[in-house]
């Protein structure tokens, strides 16, 4: 029994009259033979005296079906047996997204409700108002869903917060898809070339293959990309940085699966002293609560003042120091010496505090020895600098211990942020993707990294630094960072986490659905829309793990030397064949 209205469109049902219809929420009785599912976009109209008709558009946020005419719960058996007549009546709860013109009147009960398609759908979801649209994926109806780029590029808002359980929420995959969409959808225009992204890889070697095609990409995935206005390709321009291998004097990058196109990054002792990087060695939140922070800053200042570059390492008071361990030992010795202690630590510091500092400094030797070097040539490129790097810069942290990870993230963010500050213009933008934000910017305590992240969250919008932060639990991340994120994204959530106020932007039905969201489904809240949209983003067109990686791009061949096996015997039998004594080169 299709319900037709004056415009000749087939409607899916009518506004219910037995439940209150309000301008912001109402129920629709679904016509027999029709259906409405969650996230469907619908539209209804209301005629008003002396006014133009009001169009009320909304999204289905709940659906229910029940037997009409049944009085008792056991009646369902009589109905299913075919003895009791009853009607199955479906109803859908609509949360209004847009009222146009803005006359907040309830829809009239009985008014026909249509599935919104084409322009109606775009208007309902505000896509018509978006001048720069970033495709986010497809809605449940298979049509594209967009993000207003003005809320990402700092014009009206910036920063993204992605929450969800590790493993199934696909947070980093979505973050990279979002970057790809921003770079390749054309919203950046001429700035696309100079817009950069900095990605910290914290888990596995997952993000090291962004420039490799995904060998598991299917035709249907490629067509989804095409529907979104994108081409299914890997990132074209990627630089990968990895820390030097531990104990390796030549400083080769510590990666196991990706063998070509990886550069190692480290800091020289001279940079460590001159740029006062010592505080980032003590970047735990509980470090800041200790007394010895005074000592940290005092020692850092003294190093900056007295250290002079000397043949890769530094010389302090005429003593040449060739490694981080040497530097630590020297500083500890100076602090232990009664005569020099006051120069290094200041005069009003107790011996216990100095010793606490020394203990922790000695503890950092093992973690940071491979990152702060005095034994490598100074003219070799070794720093992570997005301005001189490719469009996407991946910094691999997954092999590093916690203290070293904090040091790298802290120092890199600081230098990037300072560089943007000096540049003075917001454009071109810099996107920073940082997973485990709850570790770097926890709700409790302070640390140098948290200070930088807060700075980015609060001033980054005007400086052109956009933070795409991911975390398992938004409730454990500094409130000001979450509050400053214009775009809030949720994947599958932990049930206990989902009830926290940080997810208040999700309506109750969506909050319940987030508990069962499957990988690839995200709930995206953006400032213009009163209801978060449920989006399925396509399978990545780039490899997300070594097993998926297709052939390496040509550009990575520039560092082919690292892939060459020095012990390979010319004319040796192919790999996989049995090894005979003759093949052993020595």
Which spans of this chain sit near another protein (rule: CB under 8 A)? 69, 71-72, 74-75, 78-86
Let me know: does 426 contact 158? Beta carbons within 8 Å.
Answer: no
Residue 86 vs 376, nearer CB to another protein: 86
Task: Measure the CA–CA gap between 115 and 12, rounded to whole angstroms.
Answer: 7
Residue 278 DSSP class: G
Whichever of 70 and 555 has its CB closer to another protein, that residue is: 70
Cβ atoms of 115 and 128 closer than 8 Å: no
Closest by Cα among 174, 151, 160, 201 to 468 = 160
CA distances from 499 to 161, 476, 507 (A): 17, 13, 11
Q: What Cα–Cα distance (Å) separates residue 124 from each residue in 141, 299, 324, 487?
A: 14, 60, 60, 19
C-beta closer to another protein: residue 86 or 304 = 86
Q: Tokens representing 448?
A: 């140098």
CB of 1 vs another protein, minimal distance in Å: 13
- Write down the least CB distance from residue 74 to another protein, Å: 8
Closer residue to another protein in complex, CB, 65/80: 80
Minimum Å distance from CB 82 to another protein? 5
Question: From the CB of 87, what's the least distance to another protein, in Å?
Answer: 8
The residue among 80 and 483 lying less far from another protein, judged by its C-beta, is 80
Q: Could you tell me how many helices (H) and strands (E) the chain has, helices first?
A: 16, 25
Distance of CA 533 to the CA centre of its chain: 18
Nearer to another protein, 71 or 580 (CB): 71
CA distance 537 to 228: 10
Instruction: Report in angstroms how near the CB of residue 85 gets to another protein at its nearest.
Output: 4
Nearer to another protein, 85 or 495 (CB): 85
Cβ distance to another protein smaller for residue 18 or 580: 18
Q: With beta carbons less than 8 A apart as the criterion, state whether 221 and 417 touch.
A: no
Nearest distance from C-beta of residue 91 to another protein, angstroms: 17
In angstroms, give the least distance from the CB of 32 to another protein: 11
CB of 66 to another protein, least distance (A): 15
Instruction: For residue 573, give Cα distances in angstroms to 563, 564, 582.
Output: 19, 17, 10
Nearer to another protein, 85 or 186 (CB): 85
Question: Residue 419 CB: number of other CB atoms within 10 A?
Answer: 14
Strands 267-268 and 465-471: what pairing? unpaired
CB of 69 to another protein, least distance (A): 6
Distance from C-alpha of 61 to C-alpha of 48, rounded to nearest angstrom: 27
Nearest distance from C-beta of residue 76 to another protein, angstroms: 11
**Are 542 and 173 in contact, with CB atoms under 8 Å apart?**
no
Distance CA 124, CA 47 (A): 18
CB of 112 to another protein, least distance (A): 19
Whether the Cβ atoms of residue 96 and residue 23 lie closer than 8 Å to each other: yes
- Pick 17 or 53: Cβ nearer another protein: 17
Please state, in angstroms and rounded to a whole number, the distance separating the CA atoms of residues 39 and 346. Answer: 63
Indicate the Cα dihedral angle 153, 207, 452, 479, nearest 10°: 80
**Cα 383 from chain centre:** 23
The Cα–Cα gap between 431 and 521 comes to: 23
Q: Give the whole-angstrom CA distance, residue 62 versus residue 417.
A: 44
Nearer to another protein, 7 or 71 (CB): 71
């Amino acid at each position: 029994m299709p319900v037709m209205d004056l415009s000749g469109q087939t409607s899916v049902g009518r506004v219910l009259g037995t439940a209150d219809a309000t301008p912001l929420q109402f129920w629709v009785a679904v016509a027999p033979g029709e259906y409405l599912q969650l996230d469907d976009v619908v539209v209804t109209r209301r005629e008003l005296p002396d006014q133009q008709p009001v169009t009320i558009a909304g999204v289905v946020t709940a659906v229910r079906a029940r037997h009409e005419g049944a009085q008792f719960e056991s009646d369902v058996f009589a109905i299913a047996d075919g003895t009791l007549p009853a009607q199955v009546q479906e109803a859908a709860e609509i949360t209004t997204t847009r009222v146009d013109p803005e006359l907040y009147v309830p829809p009239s009960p009985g008014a026909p409700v249509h599935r919104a398609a084409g322009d109606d759908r775009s208007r309902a979801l505000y896509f018509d108002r978006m001048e720069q649209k970033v495709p986010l994926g497809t809605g449940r109806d298979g049509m594209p869903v967009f993000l207003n780029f003005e809320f990402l590029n700092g014009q009206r808002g910036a920063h993204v917060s992605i929450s969800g359980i590790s493993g199934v929420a696909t947070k980093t995959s979505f973050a990279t898809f979002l970057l790809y969409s921003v770079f390749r959808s054309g919203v950046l225009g001429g700035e696309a070339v100079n817009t950069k992204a900095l990605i910290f890889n914290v888990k596995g070697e997952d993000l090291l293959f962004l420039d490799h095609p995904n060998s598991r990409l299917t035709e249907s995935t490629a067509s989804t990309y095409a529907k979104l206005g994108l081409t299914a390709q890997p990132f074209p321009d990627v630089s990968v940085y990895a820390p030097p291998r531990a104990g390796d004097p030549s400083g080769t990058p510590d990666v196991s699966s990706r063998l070509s196109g990886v550069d190692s990054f480290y800091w020289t002792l001279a940079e460590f002293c001159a740029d006062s990087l010592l505080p980032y060695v003590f970047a735990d939140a509980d470090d800041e609560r200790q007394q010895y922070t005074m000592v940290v800053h005092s020692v850092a200042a003294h190093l900056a003042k007295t250290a002079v570059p000397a043949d890769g390492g530094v010389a302090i008071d005429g003593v040449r120091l060739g490694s981080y361990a040497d530097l630590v030992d020297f500083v500890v010795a100076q602090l232990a010496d009664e005569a020099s202690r006051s120069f290094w630590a200041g005069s009003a510091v107790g011996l216990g505090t100095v010793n606490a500092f020394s203990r922790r400094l000695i503890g950092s030797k093992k973690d940071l020895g491979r990152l702060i070097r005095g034994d490598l040539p100074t003219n070799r490129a070794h720093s992570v600098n997005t301005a001189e790097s490719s469009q996407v810069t991946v910094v691999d942290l997954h092999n590093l211990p916690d203290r070293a990870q904090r040091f790298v993230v802290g120092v890199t963010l600081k230098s990037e942020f300072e560089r943007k500050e000096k540049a003075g213009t917001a454009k071109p933008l810099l996107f920073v993707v940082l997973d485990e934000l709850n570790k770097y910017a926890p709700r409790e305590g302070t640390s140098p990294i948290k200070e930088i992240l807060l700075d980015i969250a609060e001033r980054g919008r005007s400086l052109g630094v956009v933070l795409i932060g991911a975390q398992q639990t938004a409730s454990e991340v500094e409130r000001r960072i979450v509050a400053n994120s214009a775009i809030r994204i949720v994947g599958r959530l932990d049930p206990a986490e989902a009830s926290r106020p940080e997810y208040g932007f999700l309506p109750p039905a969506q909050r319940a659905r987030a508990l069962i969201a499957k990988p690839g489904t995200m709930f995206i809240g953006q400032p213009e829309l009163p209801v978060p949209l449920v989006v399925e983003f396509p399978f990545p067109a780039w490899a997300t793990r070594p097993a998926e990686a297709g052939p390496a791009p040509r550009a990575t061949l520039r560092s082919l030397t690292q892939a060459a096996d020095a012990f390979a015997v010319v004319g040796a039998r192919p790999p996989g064949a049995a090894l005979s004594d003759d093949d052993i080169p020595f």
